[in-house]
Every structure is written in structure tokens, then in C-alpha cells.
Structure 1
Amino acid sequence: MEQNIAQELLIVRASMMNQSHHGLRQKIHCEVIGRMGLMDTLRMTDKADLKVFYDADMRIYTPEWVEAHGISEEDFIAYYRDSPSIGFECGNVPFGGAILHGNDIHVAILPEFHGKWATLLPSALEWIFSQRDEVFGKAHRANRQSLRFIRRFGCKLIRSDEHFLIFSISRAEIPPALRRSNK
């Protein structure tokens, strides 16, 4: 099954200290949205905002890791630009989404929205599995939110190394409560 894993996802994160100006703007917008009580305006969009995606990813890795791997926002955007994606917004402010790159799924959510976007999950899963029967992803061992997410939703561990867990999930493995259709 390892041979079925498409090219590993290009995921990079840096500390909040190394955040771009765009990321800082997003953080401020998210705080304003939270204060205004706009969490009920969550919606899914036809395309992910790749700058927001990059900012969400950058928050898990140290600046040293990013520097050692030499991955810039421009590299990230070029890598994912033509991949099918969906975005997540709150009050018309993007906060994350999902990207399919080959058979790999990449989900990123700004930390301010962790645990607050669950109402979008059934629609996101429907979109993912309308594109592929099975998807693969990877989570950095330091990304506790992602590790909890993949455990909760029945993902199968394919392999791991000192930095990442590689997992798979299919439509049939989605918990029944999260299924919107029986396709």
C-alpha cells in the first residue's frame, strides 16, 4: 500500500515569531470575528486561499526546520496552485481548507479555529470522497491537533518515521455520524 502513496505532501510550518504580515492580519481578523460572534457564518468555498493555508502550516514547525528545508510561501503556492481544493471561511475571512494533490489530502486550519469548524467537516468529507475513494496524508509528530483528528476519524497508519505519520482513510472508514451520503 506504501507504493500507492503519491508524492509526500509539502507541509511546512514555522513558529508564530516567524509569521508573515498576511498571517498577522488573519490572526487579527479571527480575533475580531470571535468577539463579534460570527462563528455561525462558517462556510465552504470553491478554492482554498493558499496564503492562509501556508500561514496555518507555518505555525507547527520551528524556523530552524523551515530554514533547513528551504521552503518559501512562493514554493508552497507553486506546488499546490493547480490542485483541487476547498476553502473554509468565517465572516468572509478565510481560515483554512483542504487540498487534494494526487491521492494526498492536506488539511490546514488556523489555530484560532481549531475545534470550531466541525460543522464544515461533513461537507468537506463529501467533497474529498467525491474526488477519490481513498486518500493519504501525513501529520508531523509535533502536531497534536492533527494527530487527535486522524485518530478520531479512523485513519489507518501506513508508516511513520522520526518526524511524520503517514495515514490513509476511505469513505467506508468515515464514522457514520459524519457521513452525508451513502455513496
Structure 2
Amino acid sequence: MLRLTEAADLGVMYDADAARYDEAGSPCLEVVTRAAFVDFYEGCPSIGFEADGQAIGGILFDGEQAHIAVLPSHHGRWALLLKPALEWLFSLQTDILVEVERDNTRCLRFLDRHGWPRVGQTEDDIVYRLSPQGGQRKTAYPFLGKRRFAHPFPGLRHRPS
């Protein structure tokens, strides 16, 4: 069973990133340790993804950008959490930037397929702007019109005043 949790397990998010960086042969893990990652993001708002009681990833928001990470074993399996997770994210801010490394083809295809615009680039990254109406899914959700998930944190539906 998939569900959102009140906060992401930052260690699991690090593990999800580490798997990708290991695969790409990046030296970044020599600099950014698990402890440094957790310390840096500890105070950021986050929401976790869980499958069958085990943390599999999540989204965190650092005040400017969103960071999404999912363990490779659950790529393609967490999609039912996307809509309620984005509702949570957009309750914090309605226009959010996401930087994606140029070699992260899976994530680039995902964002392009859902219609979020590319708004810039750096030497290493493509920058996307996510907004509630900005992504246009090319195919209909199989449960369109049926709400399968209650909003996990009703108090977070609207931006706090």
C-alpha cells in the first residue's frame, strides 16, 4: 500500500540520490555525506512516500526549490502519490523551480511528458517551473473523477497565513 507520511525520511532520500550518483560515477558522494545531507535539509518542510510501511522517498522544499527523490526499486511504482504530493507542495508555494541534472534522463522525460516548461539551464542542470496548472498530463489518470486518496494533511491544503 502506498501512502504519504508527514515528513520525508531524509536518510532514504539521500540513499535514493546516492544510488543515482553511484551509477553515474559522480564524485559528489565524497563531498556530500549522508550526515551532511540530513543536517542541511533537516529544517525544510517535507513529505514522505511510503510503500507497505517502508520509506521509499519523498519531496522536500528548501524555500526556493523542490527536491524529489525515490529509491530506484520504486521508480515507476510511486506515481499514485504524485497528485496528493504536488497538492502539498503547491500549498507551500504555487510556483516552484526544480533543477534536474542533464544526465537524469528519467526525470527529464517525466517532467517533459507532464508538460512543465523548461525555463533555464546551467552548465549541469535543466531548470523547470512547476505550477499547479503548469503541467499538462498527456494521458488521463485512470481514476480521473474518483478521489482514491484523502488529503493526508487537511490543514496544509492552503498556504498558511
Number of the residue aligned with 1:55: 15
**Amino acid aligned to 1:57:** D
Which string of whole-angstrom CA distances, capped at 9 and with x for unpartnered residues, describes residues 26-60 of structure 1?
xxxxxxxxxxxxxxx01000000000000001122
Q: How far, CA to CA, are the matches of 1:56 and 1:135 in structure 2?
A: 22
Alignment of 1:92-107 (within 5 A): 92-107=53-68
Question: How far off is 1:159 after superposition?
Answer: 1.7
Q: How many residues align?
A: 140
Question: How far off is 1:164 after superposition?
Answer: 1.0
Given the alignment, which residue of 94, 113, 123 partners 1:133?
94
Q: How far, CA to CA, are the matches of 1:94 and 1:168 in structure 2?
A: 27
Would you say the 8 A contact 1:42–1:91 is kept in 2? Answer: yes
Q: Which segment is superposed worse, 58-67 or 141-150?
A: 58-67
C-alpha RMSD of the superposition: 2.1
Q: How far, CA to CA, are the matches of 2:37 and 2:19 in structure 1?
A: 14
Sequence identity of aligned pairs in percent?
37
**Amino acid aligned to 1:140:** E
Structure 1 residue ranges, 4+ long, deviating more than 6 angstroms after superposition = none
Alignment of 1:114-153 (within 5 A): 114-153=75-114
SS at structure 1 position matched to 2:32: coil
Alignment of 1:1-183 (within 5 A): 41-61=1-21, 62-67=25-30, 70-175=31-136
Greater percentage in helix: 1
Where do 5+ consecutive residues of structure 1 fail to align?
1-40
Normalising by structure 1, we get a TM-score of 0.70
SS at structure 2 position matched to 1:98: strand
**Amino acid aligned to 2:49:** F
Normalising by structure 2, we get a TM-score of 0.79
**Amino acid aligned to 2:9:** D
Question: How far off is 1:169 after superposition?
Answer: 1.3
Would you say the 8 A contact 2:117–2:134 is kept in 1? Answer: no
